[in-house]
Amino acid sequence: MIELSHIVKRFGTNTVLNDISVSLAEGSVTALVGPSGGGKSTLLRCVNLLEIPTAGTIRLGDDRLEFAEGRKVGWQAIQRLRRQTGMVFQNFQLFPHQTAIGNVMEGLVTVLKWPADRARARALELLEKVGMAHKADAWPATLSGGQQQRVAIARALAPSPRVLLCDEPTSALDPELAEEVVEVLSRLAREGTTMIMATHDLRLASRVADHVVFLDGGVVVESGPPRKIFSTPERERTKRFIASLSAPMSYDI
């Protein structure tokens, strides 16, 4: 279980998240959608404490952290929670001086102190899973954007995280390359990988997620199954947002 309770995030006097509570079951896929500036990426980054909430509580498995203004959270507690997550970024953020397999191995060797042969075997297994085993020895600069993002997904999965966090995983890609990433994430979802993704790509959300949270102005406007949110939303703000999207959507869920 992943539980965010009464999460508040302020940057100075600007409240970016305001009293957000969301519960996510193990094995579920949740899509955070909404307009730019609505708070979805900030909420995602609060899960693994790349952004420290101003107030509220995060529970991830057996770990529970409470936040309040003026209260500091210890580094060990942050690391303990963070190591249960894997992060996929919008712009891939692969190490340019490492091959594809080197990127996937890096965290296993340097952080978890795995021996190189064990890390290499794990990396090859994951590159195979994302359809990139044939590019194991390629440098990031020689890979397409879709290929780089698939390597980044393999890297995030390497330490077997409890939850995979994806921050706009397809937004830097053209539609054809984005489809490669959507297919990989769809397969991971079918295999029971717990995921939370912040995305503008409603095709991705409709195909991969089983729960959608629509955020605007730092609050949860509406949540529910993708078909309901995208086809028959209840809130007027949600209706306007969906109507503003001109791209055709697939409801293959």
User: Residue 110 contacts by C-beta under 8 Å, 6 or more apart in sequence?
Assistant: none
Which of 135 and 177 is assigned the larger pLDDT?
A: 135
Position 132 scores a pLDDT of 96
Compute the average pLDDT of residues 136-154.
96
Checking if the pLDDT of 248 tops 90, the result is no
pTM, rounded to two decimals: 0.90
As given in the structure block, the two tokens for residue 39 are 């708070």
CA distances from 123 to 38, 151, 174 (A): 36, 10, 27
Q: What percent of the chain has pLDDT over 90?
A: 78
For residue 95, is pLDDT > 60?
Answer: yes
pLDDT given for residue 175 in this prediction: 85
pLDDT reported for residue 108: 96
For 38-80, write each residue's pLDDT tens digit.
999 999 999 999 999 999 999 998 899 999 988 888 999 999 9
Indicate whether 250 pLDDT > 80: no
Is residue 177 a contact partner of residue 201, using CB atoms and an 8 Å limit? no
pLDDT in tens, 225-243: 999 999 999 999 999 998 8
pLDDT at 222 over 60: yes
Site of tokens 């921050």: 167
Per CATH, the architecture of 1-83+197-248 is what? 3-Layer(aba) Sandwich (3.40)
Q: What is the mean pLDDT of the chain?
A: 91
pLDDT over 70 percentage in the chain: 96
Nearest to 112 by CA among 155, 159, 71: 159
Q: Buried b vs exposed e over 25-43: b needs ≥16 C-beta within 10 Å?
A: eeebbbbbbbbeebbbbbb
> Sorting pLDDT into bands at 50, 70 and 90, what band is 249?
very low
pLDDT for the residue 115 = 97
pLDDT higher than threshold 90 for residue 251: no
Question: pLDDT-derived band of residue 176, with 50, 70 and 90 as boundaries?
Answer: confident
HEC-encoded secondary structure of the chain: CEEEEEEEEEECCEEEEEEEEEEECCCCEEEEECCCCCCHHHHHHHHCCCCCCCEEEEEECCEEEEECCCCCCCHHHHHHHHCCEEEECCCCCCCCCCCHHHHHHHHHHHCCCCCHHHHHHHHHHHHHHCCCHHHCCCCHHHCCHHHHHHHHHHHHHCCCCCEEEEECCCCCCCHHHHHHHHHHHHHHHHCCCCEEEECCCHHHHHHHCCEEEEEECCEEEEEECHHHHHHCCCCHHHHHHHHCCCCCCCCCC
CA 209 to chain centre: 12
